[in-house]
Structure 1
Amino acid sequence: MTAATIRPTAKRPRRHWKWWLFIVHRWIGIVTCLLFAIWFVSGLVMIYVPFPSLTRNEALAHLPPIDWGQVRTPPPMEGTERASLEMAGDHPVWRVSRWDGKEQTLSATNSTALGPADAAEAQHTAERFARAPVTAIETVERDQWTVAGGFNRHRPLWKATIAGPGGRILYVSSHTGAVVLDTSARERLWNWLGSVPHWIYLTVLRQDNAAWRQVVMWVSGLCIIGAVTGMWIGILRTRLGRRRFSQGRTTPYHGWMEWHHWTGLIGGLFLLAWIFSGWLSVDPFRLFASHGIGDAERIAYSGTAPFPPLALPSLAAGEPEARRVTLYRAAGRPLALVERQDGSSSVLDAATLSPANLDGTALVTAARRLMPGAPIVAVDRLTGPDTYWYEVGALPVLPVLRVRYGDPAATWAHIDPANGRLLGDLDRRRRLYRWAFDLLHKWDLNGLTLHRPAWDALLWLASLVGLATSVTGIWIGFRRLRH
């Protein structure tokens, strides 16, 4: 066999895989570039308009002061995780949450269990909350803004349309009679351009969580293929050495193709990081699933000692403007958390109603019950945010105790030393997820998010480059399809 007959045979496989590389990128790119453009634009919207929710401070700001004159009975605390006293319309109620997940609303006047909220009660609650009349009240099982699973225990919901400017709509739980969501026309409009397309969050799909996860996984996976093949082709079609294209050019492309080539190379790593982390957002194949600290351990940490009689007249005299009072146990101590309209709070000893002044050593001792059989290897008191304790654009709860355990999963527990509450736990898998998803998708390092607009500038720059790659790809794909 001669060299002439060997040479074509040796080259054919190389031409073959390159041909497939170009074909796969071309046809996947026609679809994925449109998705990328939508995600880049919607992601920028989400920086400034998050998905509608009812925050703690919003709820406190709209709750009326507790009418202490009607409060005559304490809640049952046996088997109770917490019980919160607040107003429901014109009447004070105890909202009781049990360790088995069940919730109940009791009258704070006579301890009778209150049934599901009817239309009149929901309307009155909404009007007290909004300080404006309700123009329409209806029941909804779920809609675009209440499709998440967190609302399941409140369904069906009362949807109350509030009079006046702003297009305000409140959602009231039919089970507890409390307002669980507050939305405005502005929020809803911008979220149709932000969170809804970014998360593929249409009600018809999102109401089936398993189907929604599969769609996000496979659509993101297809986009990963488009991004990887594009980066590969971009590198193959770039010549920076002596062997350049005609007229000394480093790229063989012109016009829209040249713009697509260079923006893809420059922003390709950002694009690939975003789509890969977006794929991880639904934890495909449960790669980062962890058991965490269980309910039995949380109960052991809180304690089950009998709750002392609550001196309601003394509590009323000391906190006449309180919006919410929550009874709970932490580190074996019965406590009362008093919250006010401005968001401030105090922790009182439930027996004496004096400031609790929780002891850090006692909290750490109780924290041993969170991971029985595992030694505590370190305890840190954080007075500032760090890589694993942070919030985007704000400071997290500080100071905070971080208790590190020597269990196989290397679990960490975070405890609020001011009120003794367990704020959350992280094991090795969840800390890895913090890097694989949160960092690559949000770029949420404290050095950026606490020094805005540095964070905004980085996301805008990377998004605009990615958008340029997407838009040029859309136009190139349109011309390809047209011909």
Structure 2
Amino acid sequence: MKRTLFLTHRWLGILLCLFMALWFLSGVVMMYVGYPKLTQQEHLQHLPGLTGNGCCITAQAALAALPPGNPPQGLRLTTTGSGPVYIVTLGKNRFAAVDARAGSVLPMVEEALALRSAAVFAPGQSLRYLGQIAEDAWTHSRALDGHRPLHVVEAGDERPTLLYISGSTGEVVRDASLTERRWNWVGAWLHWLYPLRGGSLDAWWTEIVIYLSVASNVLGAVGLWVGILRWRRRHYANGSHSPYRAPLARWHHWSGLVFGGLVVTWILSGLMSMNPWRIFDSGAVRPVRQLLQLSPSGLDSADQLACLQRNGFEASELSWTRLGDTGFILARNARGESHLQPETQCAPIASHDFPALEQAGAALLPGARVIGTTIQQAYDWHYYAREEHTMSGHQERPLPVLKMQFDDSAETWLYLDPRSGAVVQRSDRLGRVKRVLFALLHSWDWAPLLANRPLWDVLMVLGSLGGFIVSVSGVLLGWRRLMRRG
């Protein structure tokens, strides 16, 4: 039995320790430089202000311009290289753009429009059109599928940023700075095994990551067991508690004993991020999506903008929303501030009142009963924000929010933002288990640590360094073994 354990650990380690070393190295990079993304705040701060002068056709007219058979699910008024445009969200992650002045549906985006949109996003910078792509190293996100093909424009001379423009709407949907691109080659691109994406192995990427993680977990667990079996309370003949005479082997043994549990925990939690075999899919009913309905008596967009300006608010983007049976306009400016007003009148309000928000929230899960509501004023174990560069940093987590608990079989919790009426987080029982097995164990998302940096940084870096030493020493030992056999 012991010999089988030793041989399993030895031969598994020759290949897998290399992947583990890359995971620990790239994980430290990801602590400070994340995979490129365009956050809501970045999107807004690069938009010019909307004005009512010469703008716009009504929202009803914009929707009427769409071909039949395309029920709209969302509507925004924003700016691209075409000027003010209505962006319509359609089903199946599809989008359409309607010229807010001419009232016509914009065709697929061409090079000239992509360059004009890039100029809106990066005014005064030199621009160079690099072509059209389906996907590259910085655009693997499935959230971009509705915008493909993407146009790529390089902005700036000394430290150029890549701008990715939607082929459907003309909006800039991602930016990748030179710093992000350089660090990501040894960061997220390695950590998520993205060298396997986009080529002949793309269809099997998920399974490759899952089964490499499973095998690495087996390796780590077996290695920890072997290390414990080989440690003696009494000294060996060499005067050490470890039987190994070679310094490298002894380093591997001791570092494995100290960091082996952490290595196994980190690789296991990384596996959980992939939702292997869909173990966290609860089958819970999702909140009912409210259909986009516009009031026939609603103010047109120019009047809405004029109302906002009279109240000292320069909007960069308008979104049409609903709360129950009432339509609202949610305006946002370049600083990310929001302003809410009814669709039918110029009467700005700070936010939705909580009783109305609770009533609307209860209707989102009609087959379930509300068993608890809380006005949450501070972050807690399940609802918290992370830095923008992190995996979840693009998700807005405003405060206060209305937390609603339901009695459905999945034990669903909904968090509603009173400033927009939107559901900003949904979790169920299995999702909360994943929060522990992935977010807590992998990136140590624990409020006392996150609030006390650099303590979090020091512990994460030291743990990663320990895992790296275990892995690299394992690679070197395995390589020497192979060379001797050769």
Global fold match (TM > 0.5) = yes
Distance in 2 of aligned mates of 1:449 and 1:75: 44
Q: CA RMSD in A?
A: 2.1
Query: Residues 393 and 449 of structure 1 are in contact (CA less than 8 Å); yes or no, is this contact kept in structure 2?
Result: no
Residue 48 (structure 1) aligned to one of 15, 26, 32? 32
Aligned length: 462
Matched, 1:384 2:378: yes
CA-CA distance at 1:292 after TM superposition: 4.1
Q: Which has the larger radius of gyration?
A: 1
Paired AA for residue 366 in structure 1: A
Please list the CA deviations of residues 173-197 of structure 1 after superposition, one character each: whole Å capped at 9, or x if unmatched: 1111111111122111100000011
Aligned to 2:368: 374
CA-CA distance at 1:159 after TM superposition: 0.8
Query: Residues 382 and 400 of structure 1 are in contact (CA less than 8 Å); yes or no, is this contact kept in structure 2?
Result: yes
Matched, 1:253 2:255: no
Distance in 1 of aligned mates of 2:91 and 2:416: 19
Q: Any residues of structure 2 matched to 1:269-288 within 5 Å, and which?
A: 269-288=261-280
Q: 1:187 to 1:470 in 2, by over 3 A?
A: same
Query: Residues 292 and 425 of structure 1 are in contact (CA less than 8 Å); yes or no, is this contact kept in structure 2?
Result: no
Aligned to 1:68: 52
Paired AA for residue 319 in structure 1: L
Q: Any residues of structure 2 matched to 1:290-305 within 5 Å, and which?
A: 290-294=282-286, 297-299=288-290, 304=293
Q: 1:147 to 1:120 in 2, by over 3 A?
A: same
Aligned residue for 2:265, secondary structure, equals helix
Q: 1:69 to 1:264 in 2, by over 3 A?
A: same
My pick for the range that moved more, 50-59 or 386-395, is: 386-395
Aligned to 2:308: 319
Paired AA for residue 173 in structure 2: V
Aligned residue for 1:48, secondary structure, equals coil
Aligned to 1:158: 151
My pick for the range that moved more, 161-170 or 205-214, is: 205-214
Residue 185 (structure 1) aligned to one of 164, 178, 194? 178
Matched, 1:37 2:37: no
Paired AA for residue 246 in structure 1: A
Paired AA for residue 455 in structure 1: W
Paired AA for residue 449 in structure 2: L
Query: Residues 228 and 257 of structure 2 are in contact (CA less than 8 Å); yes or no, is this contact kept in structure 1?
Result: yes
Q: Higher helix proportion, which one?
A: 1
Aligned to 2:68: none
Q: 1:209 to 1:446 in 2, by over 3 A?
A: farther
TM-score under structure 1 length normalisation: 0.90
Structure 2 spans left out of the alignment, 5+ residues: 65-70, 389-395
Distance in 2 of aligned mates of 1:206 and 1:435: 34
Paired AA for residue 447 in structure 2: N
Query: Residues 44 and 316 of structure 2 are in contact (CA less than 8 Å); yes or no, is this contact kept in structure 1?
Result: yes
Please list the CA deviations of residues 221-246 of structure 1 after superposition, one character each: whole Å capped at 9, or x if unmatched: 11111101100011111122xx4423
CA-CA distance at 1:338 after TM superposition: 1.0
Query: Residues 52 and 303 of structure 2 are in contact (CA less than 8 Å); yes or no, is this contact kept in structure 1?
Result: no
Distance in 2 of aligned mates of 1:203 and 1:25: 26
Distance in 1 of aligned mates of 2:248 and 2:296: 72
Paired AA for residue 163 in structure 1: G
Q: 1:100 to 1:334 in 2, by over 3 A?
A: farther
Matched, 1:310 2:299: yes
Query: Residues 127 and 153 of structure 2 are in contact (CA less than 8 Å); yes or no, is this contact kept in structure 1?
Result: yes
Aligned residue for 1:407, secondary structure, equals coil
Please list the CA deviations of residues 200-229 of structure 1 after superposition, one character each: whole Å capped at 9, or x if unmatched: 012645897651111001111111111011
Q: 1:247 to 1:218 in 2, by over 3 A?
A: closer
Please list the CA deviations of residues 99-147 of structure 1 after superposition, one character each: whole Å capped at 9, or x if unmatched: 6654221121232211111111111111221112322241111111112
Aligned residue for 2:163, secondary structure, equals strand
Please list the CA deviations of residues 2-59 of structure 1 after superposition, one character each: whole Å capped at 9, or x if unmatched: xxxxxxxxxxxxxxx1111000001111112211111111000001000001111111
Distance in 1 of aligned mates of 2:482 and 2:46: 55
Residue 194 (structure 1) aligned to one of 187, 196, 199? 187
Paired AA for residue 171 in structure 1: Y
Query: Residues 298 and 345 of structure 2 are in contact (CA less than 8 Å); yes or no, is this contact kept in structure 1?
Result: no
Matched, 1:460 2:449: no
Q: 1:348 to 1:162 in 2, by over 3 A?
A: same
Aligned residue for 2:185, secondary structure, equals helix
Distance in 2 of aligned mates of 1:148 and 1:209: 13
Q: Any residues of structure 2 matched to 1:8-407 within 5 Å, and which?
A: 17-76=1-60, 80-89=72-81, 91-98=83-90, 101-131=93-123, 132-202=125-195, 204-205=197-198, 210-240=203-233, 243-246=234-237, 249-254=240-245, 255-294=247-286, 297-299=288-290, 304=293, 306=295, 308-320=297-309, 321-356=314-349, 357-393=351-387, 396-407=397-408
My pick for the range that moved more, 442-451 or 93-102, is: 93-102
Paired AA for residue 271 in structure 1: V
Query: Residues 70 and 92 of structure 1 are in contact (CA less than 8 Å); yes or no, is this contact kept in structure 2?
Result: no
Query: Residues 107 and 113 of structure 1 are in contact (CA less than 8 Å); yes or no, is this contact kept in structure 2?
Result: yes
Distance in 2 of aligned mates of 1:69 and 1:225: 66
Aligned to 2:477: 476
Distance in 2 of aligned mates of 1:313 and 1:68: 4
TM-score under structure 2 length normalisation: 0.90
